[in-house]
Amino acid sequence: MRYNKFTFLVALLIAFQGFSQEILTKKEALEITLKNNFGIKIANNNLEIAENNSSIFNSRFLPTASIISGADYRRNNQSLTFTDRDTGNDTQVSGDGVVTKTYSASLGVNYILFDGLGRKYNYKQLKETYNLTELQARETIENTYLQLFTTYFQIARFSENTNNLQEALTISKQRLTRAKYQYDYGQSTKLEFLNAQVDVNNDSITLITAKQQLDNAKRGLNVILGSKEDVNYNVETDVEYSNVLSFEDLKSKTLQNNASLKQNQTNIAISEFNLKVNKANFMPTLGFNASYGLNRTENENLINPFGAKLITSDGLNAGLNLTWNIFDGGATKTRVANSKIALENQQILLEQRRVNIENNLKNTWDNYQNQLFVLTAQEQNVISNQNNFDRTQERFKLGQITSLEFRQAQINLINAQTALNNAKFDAKLIELQLLQLSGDILNVKF
């Protein structure tokens, strides 16, 4: 009775988890990830910021224009003293609460005609910064691709392993039923029945563990997909390998298209422009300015008989200004020297990254070749173990071998099937790593 409750619980769990599942194709998984993945959304936003920064509006190539206006109100007590030229006598005139109102407005335009080409190199530096952000976004997408399919194929691996374990449990249950009948009718010992019962329980526990791993992987997939709901997807388990891969082609593409290498190359370009921007500070700056202004002054009550009650003026003003910072205490010289060192560091980092990536490519390629050999060997191993199990099962039914020999053949088949699944999906993941190194992973068709 205890055994029946346990196996019924396992069957119920499997049936429940297999209920209302959707098939998620590789293509659909890619589309959902590109649309909803959190990391990709952030990368796209950063790219939009870089695009804004690299626009003409952030380059200092455009003139600046401003409108300035103001109003001034004054109410003062005034006292004026006049001296008569003929008599030399002083006459004093005073007034309280003398009001003066002043209004002004002007439109000004400023434009830098020459700044030692600093803004030109700064603009190019911003363009390279945009290219760098674009490469960083591409690398984020590539890493997300690899993360997605690592999890996707992990689900496929656990799914196939679960199916194999389910089949093994079914066989163990049939063996238990057979052992129970034989024991009930005195054709075998209770030890055979107990061994069969232990094997069913062990297979049930292994199956539950596999199902838990599968559920965990599915939840991880939902995170990568950016899903707000815990959707229980089934995935495709078929795997296709590329037959056109060669090491020389991969090496050539890697040196040309690898996202990390291209980022290092872009950093060198940014450092070169930064050096030129700093050198431009040694040069003079020539600017142009023009303005049109209007001024109006109203004197409401005059104490000066020679004063004007209303004064207005308007006109156009234009001019050039030249600024040349002959000596700034060595600050520009220091920035130029540090820019040269920063450029040299970027060149060293590029060489270091190239050596590391070439070494990684060689190791990954060797792993891929070895894994393909392991895959072929495991396929043959499964065939051999399947044949051995089928024969062992027939002999077990005829009573020609013990249950221990049957169980060993069953375990050997399960292990071989698991090893084949591991080899199949490991080979595909290593292939994707090669494609990522070569910059081709985004071109993979599923």
Residue 21's pLDDT band, with cuts at 50, 70 and 90, is low
For residues 200 and 170, the answer to whether their CB atoms sit within 8 Å is: no
Q: How confident is the model over 99-117, as a mean pLDDT?
A: 92
Residue range 187-218, pLDDT digits in tens: 777 888 898 899 999 999 999 999 999 999 99
Supply the pLDDT for residue 1.
Answer: 40
Per-residue pLDDT band at 300 (split at 50, 70, 90): confident
Count of H-run helices and E-run strands, the chain: 9, 6
Q: 378-391 burial, b for 16+ CB within 10 Å, e for fewer?
A: beebbeebeeebee
Please say if the pLDDT value at position 309 is more than 80.
no
Domain 2-60+115-283+325-443 has CATH 2.40.50.140: no
Which one, of 297, 315, 320, lies nearest residue 307 by Cα?
297
Q: What does the mean pLDDT of the chain come to? A: 89
Average pLDDT over residues 73-78: 81
Q: Distance between CA atoms of 17 and 23, rounded to whole angstroms?
A: 14
| pTM for the full predicted model | 0.83
Is residue 356 predicted with pLDDT exceeding 90?
A: yes
The domain locations on the chain are 2-60+115-283+325-443, 64-114+285-323
Question: Which pLDDT belongs to residue 347?
Answer: 97
- How far apart, in whole angstroms, are the C-alpha atoms of residue 437 and residue 431? 10
The dihedral region occupied by 286, where left means phi > 0, alpha psi between -120 and 50, and beta the remainder, is beta
Query: What is the pLDDT averaged over residues 333-347?
Result: 97
Query: Band of the pLDDT at 90, cuts 50, 70, 90?
Result: confident
In a 13 Å sphere around the CA of 168, the CA atoms on its Cβ side amount to 32
Q: What are phi and psi of 301, to 5 degrees?
A: -135, 110
* pLDDT value at 427 more than 90: yes
Whether 258 contacts 357, CB under 8 Å: yes
